[in-house]
Amino acid sequence: MKILRSHYSLDVSSKEFEKNIFISGWVEDIRNIGSIAFIILRDKKGTLQVTALKKKNPELFEKIVSIPRESVISVNGICKKSDKARNGYEIIPDDFKILSKAETPLPLGVVDKVESELDTRLDNRFIDLRKQNIQAIFKIRNEVIASVHDYLKKKDFIEIHTPNIIASSSEGGTDVFKIKYFEKDAFLAQSPQLYKQMMMATGLDRVYEIAWYFRAEDHNTRRHLNESTAVDLEMAFISGEEDIMKILEGLVHSMWMKASECKEEIEILEKKVIVPKLPFKRISYDEAIDILNKNGLELSWGDDFGTEEEKKFGEIMKKKGSEFYFITKYPLEAKPFYTMPEGEKLSRSFDLGCKGVELASGSQRIHDVELLKERIKICGLNPKNFDAYLKTFRYGMPPHGGFGFGIERFLMELLDIKNIRECILFPRDRTRLIP
């Protein structure tokens, strides 16, 4: 007996026609038209039609048409060529078994035409993920993350894994989740920043991590999560932040290219994926301020770019033919303590934007321990809280830098998805802690 998964016609060749095969999956739909019934089975690869004939086996027919939708069954039957079936073949059942019977009514429809509210979908995420278009997002996500590993390994990076429970805030500020660690206070990491930099003192001078970010921000917008993932990277022996930006734009290009090869998923989502051209445009913070002010906004030097400013800037850059762009040389006071100064007021930092959304932020880092301690103090932090981190700078630390690149935001822009919660399996936001 040959075991096949429900899939498209390529799963069954003409050699299988008229042979007995075994299939399993979820009952997506049943159409009973009296003397014949069509049962659509589904697994992660697609769907397949089981055609039950009442005259062949009335008892089997009645049992199979009474199965609730989304039940899991296995079917044993003859594979028949059929020009009318969706895959060019159908299964005529000889026997079937209910592996798991679904309760009714379903809390969420899988193939219903009426679209459910996002909260209803997320409350029943396990069923939401049975939908072909929702699965397509995560299949593409899987492919682009695989391309991260491929690209960075070719650039001589190695993958690392750093702690998520830490003794000090990764980046300063108050947007941290404080937890009790036995008799001590600890935090969930905002990023692997401090550990990435510590790795630069080891001789493993190019490292990356698919990292988890935990940020206690009070935002509850379509593009904010309190738990998210990112490509976090650090590299040593750099001459400046431009070295880092070249790696980042190459990475983005590679990920976008990989996504463009997911033809089946892109077709399901009815999207177009156009690979961006390199290099991405570089614009200084000063230039960006000037551009925005000339387009009706009123910004002073040192102002941060909020949602309105980012959106407007993205629109301007798109009209100029640049959906991707770097904004560089931000004011030093707006950046974390580890950011390398450029003179007294500027920093060797950059953000990568795409159509008005910030995807990545990075910089050259300070590698001089005295300057680093000074910046920690200026930022209102206590150097004693960073003793283990600072120790690594005292015994030989090369010039280095890196970035954090948000995976969910990348998927939002890649696939033109309106809400970031669609891009992670079980989102955590200001109000959602389950499932």
Active site residues: 215, 217, 223-224, 358, 361, 409
Is the Cα torsion angle 379, 381, 382, 388 positive or negative in sign? negative
Cα-Cα end-to-end distance for the chain: 40
Contact status, residue 283 vs residue 328, Cβ threshold 8 Å: yes
Contact status, residue 48 vs residue 87, Cβ threshold 8 Å: yes
Which residue type is seen at 122? L
Calpha distance 86→11 (Å, rounded): 13
- Contacts for 305 with CB less than 8 Å, ≥ 6 apart: 288, 313, 327
On the 0-12 / 13-18 / 19+ scale of CB atoms within 10 A, 215 is: buried
Task: Give the dihedral of Cα atoms 327, 331, 333, 335; nearest 10 deg.
Answer: 20
Quote the distance between the C-alpha of residue 16 and its chain's center: 39
- Contacts for 254 with CB less than 8 Å, ≥ 6 apart: 147, 148, 150, 151
Calpha distance 139→133 (Å, rounded): 10
Contact status, residue 205 vs residue 156, Cβ threshold 8 Å: no
The token duo for 234 is 């650090």
Pairing of strands 72-81, 20-32: antiparallel
Q: Where are the alpha helices (DSSP H) in 270-306?
A: 285-294
Tokens 């379509």 belong to: 222
Calpha distance 234→20 (Å, rounded): 56
Calpha distance 204→367 (Å, rounded): 16
Using alpha carbons, select from 272, 230, 213 the residue that is nearest to residue 410.
230
Which residue type is seen at 229? T
Running DSSP on this structure, what letter comes out for residue 208?
E
